[in-house]
Structure 1
Amino acid sequence: MCVLLLIFAILLHATLTVNAIKCWEGLSAKVQMPLGTKSDNVNVNLWVLTECEAGTELIKMTCKLEPGLKDQSKVMIENLDRSVLYGWKDNQNEQSELAFNSAFNVFAVPPTNVSVNRSFFRELLPLSTISQEGPYLFRMFNDNLWSDMSRVYLFLELVIVKEDGAQRKPIDADDPLVAPIQCIGQTFVQQLKVEVQNTELYDSGTLYPYKAYMTNELSFSDNVKGHFMASSGHYPSLKHDDATDAGFLARCRRFAGGRKARFISRLDFDLGNQELYLLNNMDVLFTIYRAKDAFLLQCLEGGQNNGTQYGLYLHDIKLYVKMVEVQPSLNMSIYKTLERQPATYAVRKTEVKSVYLSAGRTEMEYNIFSAAIPRRVTIALVLNRAFNGHLAHSPFNFRPYSIRDISVHAAGQAYPAVPYRMNFADAAYIRPFVDMYEALGMANSERSMDITLDQFHDGWTFFVVPLTSTLDDSCGFELLRSGTTSIRLQFNADIPAGGVEMIVLGEFDQLIMIDYNRHIVSDSKIA
């Protein structure tokens, strides 16, 4: 009897060895052969599946490697019940795929970048002599280098001066505290135009400072604004139009005693807000118009009305653009592809508009966009005299002005669907505050632009309204919707004397296509 059992065990072992050593979904176990040993003397321990009277069970078996194998042998296992393999048959969903910790991938090697020979920043000088009126033109001539439009930096060297008879001289210690407005490295620019191959791809209009400021305030945390963005003259403030504010005093110190201040900031334009390189052999022209001194400067203490005229003197202006030298073989491959299809750049097109709200009104509606319906609209209100430039008022002091309700109407729909019914005097404005974070994708997230609830009430009142189908800021295109987009406002009190300016930032889908001959087609009607 014992002999029969022994023979049965041997036959069962042989059967398991034949049936179990197979391929299981590409998962392999590499067995390293000890040096100086014969292949038929190496044993491998495997967990294999076997059927018995009690059901399916996992057993450990030892098998010998096939003779003739050299330094390594690959043992593949197939048809193992995954739940039994891990001992969790009762707890694992049969539709769940297996997962392995990437920390065990000790045989992988990172990929090697073979597409780029080198990269560097090219300095562009103005095409004409620097004047205080502008405009300033910079041309990037076509060559065999690709360019990174997201790395176009504006360099400025500025000093605050005052009128002294017929001359202008730098301010000194006897002058009252005078500072530039927030983020002067960007807000110095009143209008930016970008032409590629004699085709205008971007024109900010005369509201570029508002686009730059609103983008910064609604995109970056205080950690970024207070550290890296000091290079562009951004110092976080807690209160606008306050001579004791830390941000205002920090901006004063940059120019104290007539010092020259230098700034570097990234140009904010649509093509530069995407990561794809611009094709080589492209001629690019940047045209920059500066803002007026009354808009750019603030003086918040005694002496601001003593008749002294202050100005911002430009000593130097340059552009720095990142250039990329691509491998010749890759260039040829892209050329051949361009013969069949154009290069495509998906960008987020932006438009900034302003609407004057006259004093004494409590309700109004304006048609702000008349073609495509935007993906998202950002609205802010500022005093008209600050908008036009005033030493005592920041042009970025966005306040609620007793607003009760604000809504965007497009394609027969109202956004938000339920009216806000705000009352800032009674601290009833929590919904638009939460909606601001929701629309920017920062609600319930570690990402934040660090605008507090108190700041939202006092100087940072932004109404951000998403118009996408999901009300989320997804990275893909939305279905094309055409029609008029209007904004309706209602106030609890009359608009103050002098009137208020409404700033509206709209965002749209746009596709830019460039063919083999470098002809450019821009299509905002994405379906």
Structure 2
Amino acid sequence: MNQERVLLNGCNLKLTAYPNKSEFLVEAYNHGNQRFKFNVRDVYALVNEFDLTDGLSNELERAVIENKMVQYPMISPQVRTFYIDPNRFDAPANTLFTSKMPRRIFLGLVSSEAYNGSFGTSPFDFKPYGITDVHVDYCGQTLPGRPMDLDFDNNKFIEAYVQLQETLGHTRNNFSCNSIDVGMFRNKGFTIFGFELSPVAVNNSIFELVRQTNVSVRLNFKERTPAGGLYCVVYAEFDQILNLDPLRNPMIESIV
């Protein structure tokens, strides 16, 4: 549920998985035209359960009935993509979200062949493709405040790398790390850009007031985009509240 609170007993929980096509799921390099098929034979769900004393269980049930609702603040992720035509030096403003401002967003570029599924490519191979600037427009503001003027070929990308680590919250402590080093960020398929739109972006226990806005992304390149075009994959996180009534009926409060 992307939050730390324990789910109440007596709740019906259903998990549904919709697998993509095999070309998207399987990486098979140097196998020519040979085709592969992804086959799921068995699935396991590991669940942690807590045994409560009778007194604590009764007290919990009484609190639920008195308060009428149990609230679970959580983070709701949303993914958007847009296509960038080949032979372009820029991608004009693409409005991705038109209601609530997200906490933070991450974006990366992937080839259209990999995005649509291919045994010889990975859909998670995010490369710079000659990008020079990334702009995120929201609430009448633009991030970053000034152009980054990136040049990956000449090792001018540290600002974007540090900004990714700041967005993930790793620069604020000494005990967490995403294992993406500078070399991986430069050209090893981990070129992902991060932007904090909210001052509480990395704190799951604090919510900000709802801010209605449009969020759009603009990109610039120093060289033409490759044949076949590119896809920009954007991952955003929004505030959301899951409510459970005494009968364990779920109700979700969100604006996305």
Query: 2:23 maps to which residue?
Result: 294
Q: Does 1:360 align with 2:87?
A: yes
Find out whether 1:507 has 2:237 as its counterpart: yes
Task: State yes or no: 1:452 paired with 2:181.
Answer: yes
Q: 1:104-253 residue pairs with structure 2 within 5 A?
A: none
Over the matched positions of the two proteins, sequence identity in percent amounts to 29
Question: Structure 2: how far apart are the matches of 1:494 and 1:378?
Answer: 23
Relative contact order (alpha carbons < 8 A, sep ≥ 6): 1 or 2 greater? Answer: 2
Paired AA for residue 357 in structure 1: I
1:309 to 16, 27, 35: 35
Q: Give 1:281's aligned residue.
A: 10
Cα deviation for residue 391 of structure 1 reads 1.7
Q: Which residue does the alignment assign to 2:103?
A: 375
Residues in 2 aligned to 1:425 and 1:401: alpha-carbon distance in whole angstroms: 10
Cα gap change, 1:488 to 1:521, in 2 (>3 Å): same
Q: Give, as a single letter, the amino acid of the residue that structure 1 aligns with 2:225.
A: I
Larger Cα-atom Rg = 1
Shift in Å, 1:403: 0.7
Instruction: Give the counterpart letter for 1:436 in structure 2.
Output: L
TM superposition shift of 1:445: 4.0
Cα deviation per residue 1:136-172 (whole Å; 9 max; x = unaligned)? xxxxxxxxxxxxxxxxxxxxxxxxxxxxxxxxxxxxx
Deviations 1:235-279 (A, max 9, x none): xxxxxxxxxxxxxxxxxxxxxxxxxxxxxxxxxxxx1x2121111
* Cα distance change of structure 1 residues 524 and 313 upon mapping to structure 2, 3 Å threshold: closer
Deviation at 1:524, TM superposition (A): 2.2
Residue in structure 2 matched with residue 188 of structure 1 by the alignment: none
Q: Which residue of 2 aligns with 1:328?
A: 54
1:299–1:339 distance in 2 versus 1, CA, 3 Å: closer
TM value normalised by structure 1: 0.46
Distance 2:190 2:96 in 1: 22
Residues in 1 aligned to 2:19 and 2:53: alpha-carbon distance in whole angstroms = 39
Q: Give the corresponding residue for 1:243.
A: none
Distance 2:34 2:232 in 1: 31
What one-letter code is carried by the residue in structure 1 that aligns with 2:10? Answer: N
Q: 1:411 aligns with which of 133, 136, 139?
A: 139
1:522 and 2:252 aligned: yes
Provide runs of 4+ in structure 1 moved above 3 Å.
Answer: none
Decide whether aligned partners of structure 1 residues 310 and 521 sit closer, same or farther in structure 2, where only a CA change above 3 A counts.
Answer: closer
Q: Would the alpha carbon gap of residues 297 and 468 (structure 1) be closer, same or farther in structure 2, given more than 3 Å must change?
A: same
Gap change, CA 1:406 and 1:325, over 3 Å in 2: same
Structure 1 gaps of 5+ residues are 1-270
Could you tell me the TM-score, scaled by structure 2's length? 0.92
The CA RMSD over aligned residues, in Å, is 1.8
The one-letter amino acid of 1:390's match is S
| Residue-by-residue CA offset, 1:272-327 (whole Å, 9 max, x unaligned) | x21211111211111112222111222222xx22x322223332223232233322
**What SS is found at the alignment partner of 1:324?**
coil
Distance 1:288 1:396 in 2: 19
Between the aligned partners of 2:173 and 2:58, the Cα distance in structure 1 is 44
Structure 2 residue runs of 5 or longer lacking an equivalent are none
CA 319–448 in structure 1, closer or farther in 2 if over 3 Å, else same: closer
Query: Secondary structure, in 3 states, of the residue corresponding to 1:498?
Result: coil
Query: Aligned partners of 1:313, 1:327: CA distance in 2, in Å?
Result: 43
The number of residues matched between the two structures is 251
Distance 1:502 1:325 in 2: 46
Candidates 70, 78, 81, aligned match of 1:343: 70
How much has 1:379 moved relative to structure 2? 0.4
Q: Does 1:443 align with 2:205?
A: no
* Cα pair distance change 1:296/1:344, threshold 3 Å: same
Cα distance in structure 2, aligned partners of 1:323 and 1:478: 32
**Structure 1 residue 436: deviation in Å?**
0.8
Question: What is the 5 A alignment of 1:94-109?
Answer: none
Could you tell me how far 1:375 is from its partner in structure 2?
A: 0.5
CA distance in 2, matches of 1:444, 1:274: 20
Structure number having the greater strand percentage: 1
| 1:469, distance to aligned residue in structure 2 (A) | 3.2
**CA deviation digits over 1:348-393, x for unaligned, max 9?**
1111122111112222210011110000000011111011111221
Supply the distance in 2 between the matched residues of 1:398 and 1:325 (Cα, whole angstroms): 44
